[in-house]
């Protein structure tokens, strides 16, 4: 199962990235544990300086932008 984390303070962009990630995961018929991390210290521990950020299985895949579902899909493991 995938572990997907959305890092951000809960702003509109963070919420949109989470929705887009869920859509991409559903399109690929994958199972994922999705968490929204809002704690600043946890975000910094990932080395992220710009939010929102997308983390899959502990690897930061994007930060500082809202990826569209079509852009997230190829980043997800099979």
* Catalytic residue chosen out of the listed positions 3, 11, 19, 64: 11
CA-to-CA dists, residue 67 to 30, 41, 62, angstroms: 18, 23, 8
78 pLDDT above the threshold of 90: no
Counting the structural domains of the chain, the total is 1
Is 19 in the active site?
A: no
Q: What pLDDT score was predicted for residue 10?
A: 86
Whether residue 24 is contained in a domain is answered as yes
Whether residue 14 is contained in a domain is answered as yes
Whether residue 78 is contained in a domain is answered as no
- Distance CA(54)–CA(4), nearest Å, equals 7
Using pLDDT thresholds of 50, 70 and 90, give the confidence band for residue 14: very high
The CATH number assigned to the domain holding 24 equals 3.40.30.10
The model's pLDDT over 15-32, given as tens digits with 9 standing for 90+, comes to 999 999 999 999 999 999
Whether residue 57 is contained in a domain is answered as yes
H or E element in which residue 35 lies: strand 32-37
Is 20 in the active site?
A: no
- Distance CA(40)–CA(49), nearest Å, equals 10
* Catalytic residue chosen out of the listed positions 4, 6, 7, 14: 14
Task: Please choose, from the candidates 65, 37, 69, 39, the residue with its C-alpha nearest in 3D space to the C-alpha of residue 50.
Answer: 65
Whether residue 42 is contained in a domain is answered as yes
The model's pLDDT over 34-62, given as tens digits with 9 standing for 90+, comes to 999 999 999 999 999 999 999 999 999 99
Range(s) of the domain holding residue 41: 2-73
């Amino acid at each position: 199962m995938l572990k997907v984390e959305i890092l951000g303070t809960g702003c509109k962009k963070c919420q949109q990235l989470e929705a887009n990630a869920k859509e991409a995961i559903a399109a690929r018929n994958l199972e994922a544990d999705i968490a929204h991390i809002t704690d600043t210290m946890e975000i910094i521990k990932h080395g992220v300086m710009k939010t929102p950020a997308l983390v899959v299985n502990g690897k930061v895949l994007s930060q500082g932008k809202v990826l569209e579902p079509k852009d997230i899909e190829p980043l997800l493991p099979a």
